[in-house]
Amino acid sequence: MALPFNFAPDRSPALGLIILQTDTLLETDLGPLFHELGYRTYHNRIPASPEVRPETLSTMGEQMTRIAAMFPADNGIAVIGYGCTSGTTILGETRVAELVQAAHPGMPVSNPLSGLKAACRALAITRLGLLTPYVANVSDAMIAALKDDDIHVTAYASFEQAEDQIVGKIDPRSVFDALIEIGKGDCEAVFASCTNLRAFEVIEEAEAAIGKPVLCSNQVMAWHMLQIAGLNTTLPGRGRIFANT
């Protein structure tokens, strides 16, 4: 016997995340944030080398469209975020969007680098302190990409790690201490780069300590995803950028 059924009402908007195979943090940082705002999330993993170097980061472009196509169809996804700051720096923001939109034409696409640039515009920041976990040539590429958007890195330090698994194990107190030290420099805000660096959990404490906005990859991408999807971005306890807009 075939049972009768009705269709359920449309569900809340959904957000798609393309997460690196090596990332251990993005779901736990962004899932609770999006769910607190009432939005659903879908996650796809993209193959990624354990080593964070320009030549390994660029290979993710070969898989991006295929991974993006694996999100469930017709399920209310309002925006897709590619969760890799260094990968976006090497591939380029425009190329990342093109690769995702090849599977989802017209879909708004975010990434941490675009999120950072948008957050700097929203907070009127042109002088930025930068903390990265990267080796020098990856950090240098990011500094150049920011300069192209008239954001000048005036204070900088790095943990200088090529292994993403090591980055994910850096203690958040080490991140906090580094943010405070960089924040003493001639900058209007400080940014902690890398979706696998445990920075989001110390953002508010660091802002209170230095009296300046503190940003990180997971935070600015989440904020930017909501912005470009036309969704609510006001949320206490997640840093000044979520209270400012």
- Sign of the C-alpha dihedral computed for residues 172, 200, 206 and 153 taken in this order: positive
Q: Assess whether the region 14-111+220-233 and the region 114-217 belong to the same CATH fold.
A: yes
More confident residue, 3 or 23: 23
pLDDT over threshold 70, residue 190: yes
CB-based contacts of 232, cutoff 8 Å, min separation 6: 37, 226
For domain 114-217, the CATH class is alpha beta
Residues 126-147 have a mean pLDDT of 95
Residues 50-72 have a mean pLDDT of 90
Per residue in 15-34, pLDDT (tens digit) is: 999 999 999 999 999 999 99
pLDDT over threshold 70, residue 245: no
Residues 217-241 have a mean pLDDT of 94
Per-residue confidence band for 2, with pLDDT thresholds at 50, 70 and 90: very high
Residues 138-157 have a mean pLDDT of 96
Give percent of the chain above pLDDT 90.
81
Q: Give the SS3 label for residue 168.
A: coil
Per-residue confidence band for 65, with pLDDT thresholds at 50, 70 and 90: very high
Residues 121-136 have a mean pLDDT of 96
- The hierarchical CATH code for the domain 14-111+220-233 is 3.40.50.12500
Per-chain mean pLDDT for the chain? 94
Read off the pTM.
Answer: 0.94
pLDDT over threshold 90, residue 179: yes
Give percent of the chain above pLDDT 70.
99
Q: Give the SS3 label for residue 14.
A: strand
Domain boundary assignment for the chain: 14-111+220-233, 114-217
pLDDT over threshold 80, residue 157: yes
The torsion defined by the Cα of 128, 131, 137 and 142, in degrees rounded to 10, comes to -40
Return the pLDDT at 198: 97
State the DSSP code for 126: -
